[in-house]
Amino acid sequence: MLRLSNLSKYFGGVRAVDALELNVKTGEIFGLIGPNGSGKSTTVNLVCGIFGPTSGSIELDGVDLKRQAPHQRIDAGVSRTFQNIRLFDDLTVWQNLWVAWRDAPGQEHSWFSNWFGRSLSRRHEIQKLLEFSGLGDKSNNLAGNLAFGEQRRLELARAMASKPKLILLDEPAAGMSSAEVTDLRQRILTMKEMGITVLLIEHVMELVMNVSDRIGVLNFGTLIAEGLPEEIQHNPLVQKAYFGSSENTSGGDTNAIDQ
């Protein structure tokens, strides 16, 4: 599904992502973990087109994404959430989804009605997605007035509104209570059942170990390990990267880039 080959992104002398090889298979939940500043968010931003890569290629189902503008990658089937929630606060909950909405194949609106239609038919579908996200009764609230957990769910719903094949979740559990994490886990599994491939970037091990089919570990912009959750848990290289040793103090400088 998603194939990153020899992907690099340098910021000046800092190699945020360095000759990264990553292969996410169709229909799986791939967890991407790594210490702060290891290049996880930079990888997401490269796939989404926020940054252009220094070198290497990004392919989605064999299609080269590199030359596509960020909005075109949505049409190609990639969508994302942000580490710090970025909703359209002054729009209502359902308008947030309306902006991102893509019609299912075969049911596309004409150009004119896509932009200038009231699209009541869509409102019905949007409402269904909101109910799925547990926001059914909030559709006319302003997104900025929602509680934190609701905002996270709305951002997830917005990422699904474009009917993606692949969703990149950038630390979706950050700041969540453990009950909310359980709920999120269920939602991610439901996405998988719907046939959506998930690339999950996460620090909350409780989530990433329980939900991922495979896990990759990034450090200094390269993949240092890849495998099943239980393999990763017992991998000495991973433990070294996380807990550090004298010559391996990650984070710090590169963290700023990662932000």
Partner 1 sequence: MLYFLGIFQTIGVHTLLGLSAYVLLLTGQLSLGQVGFFAIGAYVSGILTVLFSWHIFAALAVGALVAGFFAFLIGFPALRVKGLMLVVATIAFSEIVRLFFFNLSWRVEVNGFDVGPDSTQGFREIRYFAANGWEQTHVVALIWSFVILVMFLLWWLDRVRAGAVLRAVGEDDLAAQSSGVNLTMVKVAAMTAGGVIAGIGGGLFAHSTTYVDHHTFTILLATFAVSYPILGGHKNVFGTLLAVIFIQGFVIEGLRFMGDYRNIVFGLLIIFAMNLRPQGLVDGHFISDIKKKLGGKPKKDSADA
Give the residues lining the site for partner 1 (CB under 8 A): 41, 45, 48, 50-51, 69-71, 74-75, 79-80, 82-84, 86-91, 95-96, 98-102, 114-119, 158, 161-162, 170, 258-259
Residue 195: CA atoms inside 13 Å, Cβ hemisphere, count? 4
Residue closer to partner 1 by CB (options 100, 215) is 100
For residue 78, the minimal CB distance to partner 1 (Å) is 9
Closest separation in Å from C-beta 254 to partner 1: 12
Q: Is the Cβ of residue 82 or residue 132 nearer to partner 1 in the bound state?
A: 82
Length of the chain: 259
CB of 2 to partner 1, least distance (A): 16
Closer Cβ to partner 1, 174 or 237, answer by number:
174
The least CB distance from residue 39 to partner 1, in Å, is: 12
Closer residue to partner 1 (CB): 141 or 210 = 141
- Tell me whether residue 120 or residue 179 sits nearer to partner 1 (CB atom): 120
**Closer to partner 1 by Cβ: residue 117 or 244:** 117
How far apart are CB 36 and partner 1 at their closest, in Å?
Answer: 10
